[in-house]
Amino acid sequence: MANPIVLEKIKREARSKSKKEIIKEPIDGVLRIIPLGGLEEVGRNLTALEWRQKNGQSEIIIIDVGIGFPESEIMPGIDFIIPNTEYLEKNKENILAILITHGHYDHIGALPYLLEKIGNPIIYTAPLTKGLILKRQADFPEAVKPAIEEIKKTGYRPIRLGHFTIEYFHVNHSIPDSLGFFIKTPVGNIMHTGDFKIDFTPVFDQPADLGRVVQLAEEGVKVLMMDSTNANNPGHLVSERKIMENLELIFQKAKGRVIAATFASLLERIQQLIYLSGVYGRKVVIEGHSMKINTEVAKRLNYLSYPKGIFIRPEESLKMPPHQVSIFCTGSQAEDGSVLSKIADREHRYFRIIPNDTVVFSSSIIPGNENVVQDLKDVLVRQGAKIIHYQMMDIHASGHAFADDIRLFTSLVKPEYLMPVHGYFHMQKAVEEIGVELGLPRENIIIAQNGSVVEVKSNKVVLSQERQPANLVYVDGLGVGDIGEVVLRDRQTLAQDGIFVVIVTVDSQTGDTRTSPDIISRGFVYLKESKELLRETRDLIKRVIEKNVRFLGEESPIIQDEQIKYRLKEEVAEFLFKRTKRRPMVLPVVIKI
């Protein structure tokens, strides 16, 4: 349960501040909350809030425009997943603005793909997030230039957009400048936590402004949209101060280089590692494209503090004693091509594991990555590294609130309705149970899906029967949305069972096969060791050709290319499955000469 002393202190401080003006009486209309990404998944966050009057007039604001990350086994070749904005594109003249909670790619990454489609509305966000958006946008020179209005976290000036008035508050997360939003509407107030955690003793950040949260909540909260990502984890999240203390122990004991792998966007952890390197006389190498980009933006905007001259190039570190070097890099999830994976595979341009290296995994393991991360650790240990990870000591704290933090926040806000967001179904349900424990009727907890339409009226909130398109849109290279389920199934087949190409030449005068059919196999069988299988397959191909060439009197044969290719594909595939119990993709090619 929430600490009653902390609870009362926060409330007392909030009441001492001047109360804001209460919103005006409701007018004739309905607020529609339309999540188009971020529910029943982690990532791809995008939610639209639409004020619709009975006369049909509409105003829309959007919260976050993020990417999702593909599951490699079922989405081979896909770079990112973005939200389906079909509904917003049809109503883009009604979009007033985009509110961005923070600078992680699952909240900003889809902007280059979608901004122009939805009318390039003005973006409101904090300075660091603005810098990260502009940096990412620079990688898309053909994309529309975003118009961004900075939100200053001091002064708290409300933003008035049509029938919406937007207030905001500071929250802790794993990146600076993270915001929650308090949105006043004619039918009640909506509070959106963004990605958040509660840390009373952060190291390089201010504690979450819970006093302001209470101050805003005293105006009434119709719907609290709550981050649910870690709702299944009991207790309170460990403070960054404790993480800092444990990281310092590692630096004290390390006899050689400290190689720390973490998420490229975890700027608070990167700041801690830079600070400790300075304290213990180490120079710092930053390796990994995305980590370099994030740290450069943070340095330019003064969100990272560091001693002059602490950063060096990789080649410079090779000339220094190992105990004077720190390397901070990507690869904590053993991603293919990441810096740490290249080091382990001895493929990195500069670095190999050397005796007395300490490798720190300062991140939790994303579900599904357990085996590959364990394999990476084994390789590193065999090469002489000492491994330290979060299960050995607290050297990583998530950016998402645990159950007791969610309980505390909800207790402070006292919403009429609770709507879990940013999580899989079981995470949303965990928030529901917390809400019920706190006395909310179960019917006042909205469990929605992507594409749902939640209607907020002055006297009730309901999950309507209406649905908006919210299917996955795939980004593959320069292609956006041109990859569908059929292509993905083909790629899965290629990855699992390979490809079997049949090339047959047919005499257009006689209908006979001119030469023995050519066969190309990739990822299915090794041709030199499958001579009997190939002989039988060629015989089958000839029989299929004979059965599908028709003659009319003494005229030339009628060779129906598409019919022949269809029958070849079906019969060869069936034959290969009977012989091998595998289903390669069969591609027939018929050449008439």
Q: Please give the positions annotated as active site.
A: 227, 400
Q: Strand 473-476 relative to strand 80-82: parallel, antiparallel, unpaired?
A: antiparallel
Return phi, psi of residue 562, to 5°. -65, -40
Closest among 68, 41, 70, 107 to 427, alpha carbons compared: 41
What is the DSSP secondary structure assignment for residue 184, as one 8-state letter? E
Q: How many CB atoms lie within 10 A of CB 492?
A: 15
Angle (CA) 213-125-362 rounded to 5° is 80
Q: Which residues are 513's β-sheet partners?
A: 506
| Residue whose tokens read 């503090």 | 305
Q: What share of the chain is helix, strand, coil (3-state, %, to 5)?
A: 30, 25, 45
What is the DSSP secondary structure assignment for residue 276, as one 8-state letter? H
Residue 112 to residue 145: CA distance in whole angstroms: 9
How far out from the chain centre does Cα 342 lie? 23
The 3-state DSSP class for residue 9 equals helix
Identify the sign of the CA torsion 369, 375, 378, 383.
negative
List Cβ neighbours of 503 (8 Å cut-off, separation of 6 or more). Answer: 517, 518, 519, 520, 589, 591
Residue 448 to residue 470: CA distance in whole angstroms: 12
